[in-house]
Structure 1
Amino acid sequence: MSIGLIDVDNTRFPNIALGKIAAYHKSLGDNVEWAMPMFGQYDRVYASKVFVFTPDFSDHYDCEIVRGGTGYDIHSVLPAEIDRLQPDYSIYPYIDSKTAYGFLTRGCPNKCRWCIVPVKEGNVHPYMDIDEITLDGQRSNVVLMDNNILACDYGIAQLEKIADKGYRIDLNQGNSARLVTDDVAKLFARIRWIGSMIRFAADTPRQLAEVDEAMAKIDRYREALGKKPAQYLVYTMIDGDISECYDRLSYFRSNKRMRIVAQPFRDFNNPNQTIPKWQKDMAHWANRRELWASCDFKSFIPRKGFVCAEYFNNNKTSAI
């Protein structure tokens, strides 16, 4: 068979499902390539879409089309014989031979209104072993995309195994700072982090203090091991009251070892949602570290003739 692949989101972040589909079909002797609408001739095309807000592809293919991923259907899953495979990394030539991507756990016990993981995957539960993802150590730098690995004893046991084996990891999602006990902080201090970057989430004011406490614990145990202080990244949501968001996103600006990634709230049940202009401007400011670190949001000029202080002075937060 001739197989075509379409990464609908095209985020430059590898689509793990497509990588596994490629591995499966190549194991059957099939030809697999990125779908080319003008020149490709295929028996089947797989299109994967992660985000519901990503527009669907518009190209025409005169063959069977298989659409999958949360962006198409929240309940879609790979067949078990494909899901247990490791991705074919050759379809993403920018991924080096020492790097792997995957999940050790799936699901999450929280029910945050902006997240569909608990609906799609249920409560947190074991999924894979780290040695499966690393191909028994052949790929020792691992980007893990678990949504709440610290909420699961299995996940913590896997992190212990990672520390013992010396794998370098990036827990790519926002870890829950409130789950960083002394034992977890000691474990985080032992782990080798890709880019020395540890990630947390702070979507509410309460979580700011939790992140502060978690960082202090980890830094203390890293110092005891003779390691330099870690670098930190905090994911944060922009939603609701502009003053609360401003205070929360500004909280860590003086910390030179910190950066944030912010995004406006996306309503997965409303495909016609309109993001307020102030949220887009705040995300632009926060996600450009040089702006966030050097310029107060109220002084930020996102376009000629407009200063963001006007959102506060003139109650323009509803402007689109």
Structure 2
Amino acid sequence: MRLERLAPALFVLLWSTGWIVAKYAAPHADPLTFLDIRFASAALVLLVFVALSGASLPKTPAGWCHAIISGVFLHGIYLGGVWWAISQGLPSSVSGLIAALQPLLTAAIAPIAIGERLRGSQFLGIALGFGGLAIAILPGLLALDADELRSEILPLFINVAAMFSVVIGTLYQKRHLQEGDLRSIAMLQYVGALLFTVPLTFLIEDMRVDFNLEFVIALAWSVFGLSIVSIALLLYLIRRGQVSRAASLIYLVPPAVAIQSWLYFDEPLTAPMMAGTVVVVIGVWLTNRPTRLVT
């Protein structure tokens, strides 16, 4: 089976584990400190890979800048905001709902930003995806009392800002990085992420790290499973297909997170979550199905 067919499902499976790793790693390191180590490790691994494989670096200063700037948005602001918000007590269901708004905003902005046109079935798919996520996650949101909501205003705001960041990063990637070696681009994107997260780490964190087995496992999976393999798949999807199609895959992440949380942490898998998952899958299929040419 071709990578083009496998890539979407594999990306969703790998990317959804990011929420699992965030929960697993939280007791062992401050969130931005963990991400600093993760980004630096991923950059070093990719640097070695680029050197050994003979991957070409950007040939112009503009190419370097575009890769670094996209990394600030796609990794630094986005992951930094999400991990910090979760560490401050924002429920993962709320964070998942915010992340799922990304395809809706991306699809709405793409026609203006890069001239990408959407079919009627894609609009329907986006609407179904949003509705399915509401079915899956809204019961958890309604369970929060007023005091809990008030205490989560700042984390909620930061998570929303992070979601906007990944929308901007996705469109920026599509517009400015259609050419060039994905291996070197990915490496430079982690440099950009570090330029954002490291100063913040010194400003707001104690840089707590417990170097135990759990930390090593979380870091290893974050670097290789998330920061390298899944990001390579995302860059591949953005380059091969439409921005809105690649972004619509995020619809599947929250249900996938719920299933993994049930398996690994014994969290309940509710009927609304299962029903919402079915609706989401239909919406993603409508948004991603290939266009048939009529002759």
TM class by shorter chain equals: under 0.3
More strand by share: 1
Structure number with greater CO (CA < 8 Å, separation at least 6) is 2
Larger Rg: 1
TM-score scaled by length of structure 1: 0.26
TM-score scaled by length of structure 2: 0.27
